Amino acid sequence: MGLKSILFFLFVLAGFTASAQKKDPLSKIPDTYPVLQKVLANPDVYKAQILYSQIDRDKNNNPSWRNFDYRLDDEVYFYPASTVKLPVAILALEWLGEQQVPGLTADTPMLTDSVRASQIPAWTDNTSASGLPSIAHYIKKILLVSDNDAYNRLYELLGQDYINQKMREKGLIHTVINHRLSMPMSEAENRHFNPVRFVDATGKTVLAIPGRETTSVYVNRGNPTIGKAYYSGGKLVEQPMEFTYKNKFALSDLHGVVQRIVFPEKFKPSERFQVSEADRQFILKYMSMLPGESDYPKYTLPEYYDSYSKFFKFGTDKSPIPAQFRIFNKTGNAYGHLLDGSYFVDFENGIEFFVSAIIYANSDETLNDDKYEYEEIAFPFFAELGEYLYQIELSRKKKRQDDLSSFKFSY
């Protein structure tokens, strides 16, 4: 190859590389997004990961997507907080469909008992129309305001083996779900599950499930730790907190769960959640519903504003979210971590995209001290990232307008 040919080849290669970088929206952030720019420029401090999927549709409105990521790594541990509630909520409906018990539905009253000192019963729920708990009502509470008790009840119903095996079967192999939330319980106690009874309108038992336990131990490899110190029982422990027996939910798995419930047809049958179309619509409706749109349970202002659990683009803005937008998502917030996995829709402009992200905002590296940079860094990061990607989508040239009518619900 002559010198001219070599120079031409290098010129073309350089041009191709520059073009590829230009097309990657996460490779260079404009100065108009200072917090987002700061976070991405300091990966060792904020430990952010981002996964963004641009969606295009063919002439038959069938979707396909192209992924972009920032420091995505399924092996790097972060605490997933409440995001684990989403797959557990969906799996509760999958479990329900497998039972094939006459009279057993998502609305059948679900009464949880206790047989161990660490367990707490649940026989009533004054936030439901009937005054009784049910699978459907627990799912609503999970998706509307990320209720911890509602998640715990479904965790107790399903048990660790069912949850973890189902996730692996669906190809979501970077997930470990092995404990209740906001309940100080040992890893051994979390392997015990309350007895549950479903009853009809007369109080007659439809299905009784005894107390159970698993001998399997679901752990995170490598004994991951976070921080340099933590508070436990009001005392400072000057060493990293260990997360070996804590939940794990890698960002790609969170992203994958959202994609599976939004577009199940894009996955192999074995990788889908095996729920009815009615159940899938139920999940999507409550993933996208705003707290104030719900009657049972009822959530009111000022505590439950529109963006209470919608971090992308809207952050902590207390203003009403414009009706043209719907965000089908699940968030998490704990130990300095803030997370959101979303399918973002703008009906007015025909925009849709997936985005999931995690940030760690804990500069003093001390856990449980309630000194996290949520307001200064974490929420602005999500607001700017959502706005930045939304503006990219507004300017992105598409061959055809997306038909998003199937995602319009009556709230």
Question: How far is it, in rounded angstroms, from Cα 84 to Cα 167?
Answer: 11
Q: How far is CA 123 from CA 146, 203, 253, 293, in A?
A: 20, 12, 33, 26
> Which of 278, 404, 293 is CA-nearest to residue 344?
404
Q: Assess if residue 16 is contained within a domain.
A: no
Across the range 130-145, mean pLDDT stands at 98
Q: Assess if residue 83 is contained within a domain.
A: yes
> Which of 52, 39, 73 is CA-nearest to residue 224?
73
The string of pLDDT tens digits covering residues 300-342 is 999 999 999 999 999 999 999 999 999 999 999 999 999 999 9
* Mean pLDDT for all residues in the chain: 94
Residue with tokens 């003093």: 364
Residue 17 has pLDDT above 70, yes or no: no
Predicted local distance difference test score (pLDDT) of residue 13: 38
| CB contact at 8 A, 48 and 39 | yes
| CB contact at 8 A, 143 and 89 | yes
The backbone region for 146, taken as left when phi is positive above 0, alpha when psi lies in -120 to 50, beta otherwise, is left
Question: How far is it, in rounded angstroms, from Cα 270 to Cα 150?
Answer: 28
- Residue type (1 letter), 319: S
Residue 9 has pLDDT above 80, yes or no: no
β-sheet with 205-209: strand ranges across = 110-112, 196-199, 205-209
Cα four-point dihedral sign 178, 181, 185, 189:
negative
Residue 41 has pLDDT above 60, yes or no: yes
Q: Assess if residue 1 is contained within a domain.
A: no
Residue 100 has pLDDT above 80, yes or no: yes
CB atoms within 10 A of CB 159: 20
Instruction: Report how many domains make up the chain.
Output: 1
Across the range 353-371, mean pLDDT stands at 97
CA angle 127, 128, 133 (to 5 degrees): 105
Predicted local distance difference test score (pLDDT) of residue 20: 38
Q: Assess if residue 17 is contained within a domain.
A: no
Residue-number span of the structural domain to which 114 is assigned: 27-405
The string of pLDDT tens digits covering residues 216-239 is 999 999 999 999 999 999 999 999
Q: Assess if residue 310 is contained within a domain.
A: yes
Residue 15 has pLDDT above 80, yes or no: no
Predicted local distance difference test score (pLDDT) of residue 401: 80
CATH value at residue 326: 3.40.710.10
Q: Assess if residue 13 is contained within a domain.
A: no
The string of pLDDT tens digits covering residues 152-181 is 999 999 999 999 999 999 999 999 999 999
Across the range 270-283, mean pLDDT stands at 98
CB atoms within 10 A of CB 43: 12
Predicted local distance difference test score (pLDDT) of residue 398: 86
> Which of 80, 57, 25 is CA-nearest to residue 407?
57
Structure tokens at 322: 């414009």
Percent residues over pLDDT 90 in the chain = 92
Peptide bond into 302 cis (omega under 30): yes
Q: Assess if residue 149 is contained within a domain.
A: yes
The string of pLDDT tens digits covering residues 175-209 is 999 999 999 999 999 999 999 999 999 999 999 99
Q: Assess if residue 10 is contained within a domain.
A: no
pTM exceeds 0.85: yes
Cα four-point dihedral sign 145, 148, 150, 151:
positive
Predicted local distance difference test score (pLDDT) of residue 320: 97
